[in-house]
Every structure is written in C-alpha cells, then in structure tokens.
Amino acid sequence: MSARRILLGVTGGVAAYKAAEFTRLLVKAGHTVEVVMTEAATRFVTPVTFQALSGNAVYADLWDPRPHNAMAHIELSRRADVFIIAPATANTLYKLAHGVSDDLISTLAAARTCPLVVAPAMNRQMWANPANQRNVAQLRADGVQVFGPASGEQACGEVGEGRMLEPEQLLERLEALFVPQRLAGRKVLMTAGPTFEPIDAVRGITNISSGKMGYALARACRNAGAEVTLVSGPTGLPCPEGVQRLDVGTAREMYDAVLRHAGSADIFIGVAAVADYRVRNRAEHKLKKGDSVPVIELEENPDILATVASLPAAPFCVGFAAESRNLLEYADAKRRRKKVPLLVANLVQKAMGRDTNEVLLLDDAGSHALPEMDKQALAARLVEELAARLPPA
Ligand code: CTP
C-alpha cells in the first residue's frame, strides 16, 4: 500500500499503551503519523512517547497555538487521509455520535473531511450498555468505520467483548480501507499451505510450503472486498482478519472441504502444495524399529484444482505451479491439463521459505513475467490481474 497521512486520536483507556505500538507499526509501514490525545489519554501514556515514535509534534490541547493559523481543530484532520481513534472510549463514542465538540479529538472529528475510524476499547459491560450500543449504531449509520472490539481477557480482569483489536489487526484493517474493491460481492475459495499424509501415528509425508503466498493472497482478496474461505493445510500462520479458515490435514480432507464450498464460489484459487500421493498401508500405531525396513505403498490423491475446474458450473479457476526447472514448458502443460484460465508459475528456488517471489502468469494470450516482489505486494498485484480477467458478475 502506498504511504498515507494518518491522524491517530488516542483517548483515555488502558489500551492507550497499544496505540504506541500501533504508531510504531504505522511508521514502519511507511505512513506519516500525527497523534492527537485527550487529556485523559496523557494520564496513561505521555505525549513524549508518541512524539518519539511518530517523529511529529503531538497535540492534546484545543488551544494549542502551534498550527500556523491557531486552527489545530481543523488543520490536523484536513491534511490527513484518514482519522483513526484508537483506543476510542465510551465517552468519545458518545461525543462523536452526538456531535459534541469539546476537546481536540471530538472537534477534529466534527471538522474533518477524511474518513473516520474508531477502535473501541472498554469494559465488557460498558460496551454492552444499551446507550453505548445506540451510539455505535449511530456512528455506523453516519458512515464511521468501527474496527472491533475483540473478545477476551480485559485489563479489569473480566472476560468478554470490549478489548481493542491488536495493533497488527488495526494496521491490516486500516490499510484495507484504501484498496480498490475489485472483488466486491465475489466469493473466493482458496487452498493454501501443505497437506500431510500420515504414515503412522507420528510420521507422515508432506510438501515444503510455508503457506505465506496463499495467506497473503487470502488477505489481498479480502482487502479487495471478497468474501474469502481459506482451506488450509498445517501452517503456523495466524488466520487473516475477516477470512473464514477451514483447517485440514490430508489432501482428501482438503478435497472434501473444497468440494463442499465450490458450488457457491465465484473464484477458486489453488495455492496449496498438495501431496500427490497418500500412504495406502497407513499404520494405526507408531511403527517400531524391527528386523526389516517398512515398505510404504503409495496411491494417488485426487487433483483438487482439476476437479473444480471441470465442474459443470465451475468458478473462475486460478492455479499455481511450482517447478524446479523448465518453468514455462511445464507450467504451460499444467495449465492446459488442468484447464484453468489463469496459472501463476514460479521456480521453487525463488519462492520457498522466502518473503519474496517472482512469477510468470500464463493465460490464453500467452505468458507474462512479473518482477520479483514481496509476497504481499505480489498478492495485491495478482488480485488486479485476476479481477481484470474475470467474467462480469
Ligand atoms: N493441485 C491440486 N491438487 C493436487 C495437486 C495439485 O489442487 N492433488 C493444484 C495446486 O494447488 C496448484 C496446481 O494444482 O494450484 C499445481 O500444483 P503442482 O504441485 O505444481 O502440480 P502437480 O499437479 O502436482 O504436478 P507435478 O507434481 O507433476 O508438478
């Protein structure tokens, strides 16, 4: 995502300490951050912390004379691409919902021209309070984006809904706001990660796959407005926000999960490194070392991508091809064999276990090379390429 000017409003809740980490993440991602605080917020974290992290002056006072025309309440939000208030207390939500402008943050919100986002943080009972719920509903009706809150353990020791989203989740949601909604209204079904074919109770056959490319693509599709179902083999990756993940182990479990959802999907993307074979003589218990070396018999797994592509009302199918040599020749043959309109091919040496990838796109018109890039940037580019080839909804 290109760099944005972000105005961050910090109000007085314990979660203010997470706003410091959020500031750091925003700056690290290349954005310009200006921080405004309520007086209460400065009791939790000092302005100096935010000044050091953002590299910019911090404002907490409506009467601050520093902006050149002494109009801090207008100027700060006029130069921002988005105003995000995180954490947003129940009191601030009330003020925003009722147009109260009695401190810098509420005045900036009222005078802004940019989109407004709030990330509520409060005790679960305060969150559930009917008055607060009315305020949140009013804010949504006014076009304000509400990120979270999440459920979990709270600073007060209670457990429930009201925790602020984690800084990483806020960053992800915020960046998604600026992505063109090329896949709005589309349902995307995907596979990612490796599969695991058991040999016995503790051993198995698998492919080397971190799942990073598939997860990056799931995130990019969601950012572009799609409803995403991700059928994932075992990876250590967290599920991207707003993506429905179905965890599977073997290729046959992946096949079953995909075919259960393929009928309602508009797009199917097979990114998983599916094991081509499974063990026919799988042992129920751990094989013990004996006199002879065990013989493993293999049988072929179903081809998930080829099966989905040959369904009568097949979704638009995108395949991936991981090759270690003869990239164009093997990938082209694979695309024709599996009958997919778009295939993304890469050399395993350039992708596996790395954060970057360099791919070749193959379609009916031929092959197109994309430059090497970060997997998340590549995922966003692939969404553009995919959207450009989709039949009209
Ligand atoms: N694929 C699949 N089901 C399988 C095997 C592969 O859906 N049983 C999908 C992968 O997710 C990928 C594409 O098919 O989108 C190509 O996978 P790849 O492993 O490169 O090709 P294979 O079909 O396994 O062919 P080969 O092993 O000969 O390269």
Question: How confident is the model over 160-203, as pLDDT tens digits?
Answer: 899 999 999 999 899 999 999 999 999 999 999 999 999 999 99
Mean per-residue pLDDT, 208-237: 95
For position 69, what pLDDT does the model report? 67
CA–CA dist 147, 86 (Å, integer)? 9
Strand 58-59 versus strand 32-37 pairing type: parallel
Q: Are residues 139 and 287 in the same domain?
A: no
What's the farthest any 2 CA atoms get from each other in the chain? 88
Q: Are residues 224 and 131 in the same domain?
A: no
Q: Are residues 201 and 221 in the same domain?
A: yes
Under the banding of pLDDT at 50, 70 and 90, the label for residue 110 is very high
For position 1, what pLDDT does the model report? 60
Q: Are residues 245 and 357 in the same domain?
A: yes
Please count the structural domains in the chain: 2
Is the pLDDT at 353 greater than 80? The verdict is: no
Contact 229, 244 (CB under 8 A): yes
Residue type, 141: A
Residue pLDDT, tens place only, 358-379: 999 999 999 999 999 988 889 9
Q: Are residues 80 and 119 in the same domain?
A: yes
Q: Are residues 120 and 218 in the same domain?
A: no
DSSP readout, 271-294?
--B--SEEETT--SSPPPP-SS--
Residue list, ligand 1 pocket, CB within 6 Å: 191, 251, 270-274, 276, 301, 303-305, 319-322, 334
3-state secondary structure 126-184: HHHCHHHHHHHHHHHHCCCEECCCEEEECCCCCEEEEECCCHHHHHHHHHHCCCCCCCC
Average pLDDT, the chain: 94
Q: Are residues 338 and 247 in the same domain?
A: yes
Residue pLDDT, tens place only, 29-46: 999 999 999 999 999 999
Query: Of 156, 221, 239, 317, which residue is the catalytic one?
Result: 156
Per the listing, tokens 């940019």 go with 114
What's the CA-to-centroid distance between 50 and ligand 1, angstroms? 49
Is the pLDDT at 121 greater than 70? The verdict is: yes
CA distances from 19 to 9, 24, 148 (A): 9, 9, 15
Domain that holds residue 337: 187-389
| CATH code, 89 | 3.40.50.1950
Instruction: Mention every residue, 6+ apart, whose C-beta is less than 8 A from residue 33.
Output: 6, 7, 8, 23, 26, 27, 53, 54, 56
Of the chain, the percentage scoring pLDDT greater than 90 comes to 85
CA–CA dist 135, 141 (Å, integer)? 10
Is the pLDDT at 298 greater than 90? The verdict is: yes
Q: Are residues 22 and 112 in the same domain?
A: yes
Q: 156 catalytic, yes or no?
A: yes
What's the CA-to-centroid distance between 175 and ligand 1, angstroms? 32
For position 198, what pLDDT does the model report? 97
Q: Are residues 214 and 151 in the same domain?
A: no
What's the CA-to-centroid distance between 274 and ligand 1, angstroms? 6
Q: Are residues 158 and 265 in the same domain?
A: no
Residue pLDDT, tens place only, 33-81: 999 999 999 999 999 999 999 999 999 988 887 777 666 667 888 889 9
Residues of the binding site for CTP: 276, 286, 302-305, 320, 334, 338
| CATH code, 300 | 3.40.50.10300
Q: Are residues 211 and 119 in the same domain?
A: no
Instruction: For residue 367, tell me if it sits in a domain.
Output: yes
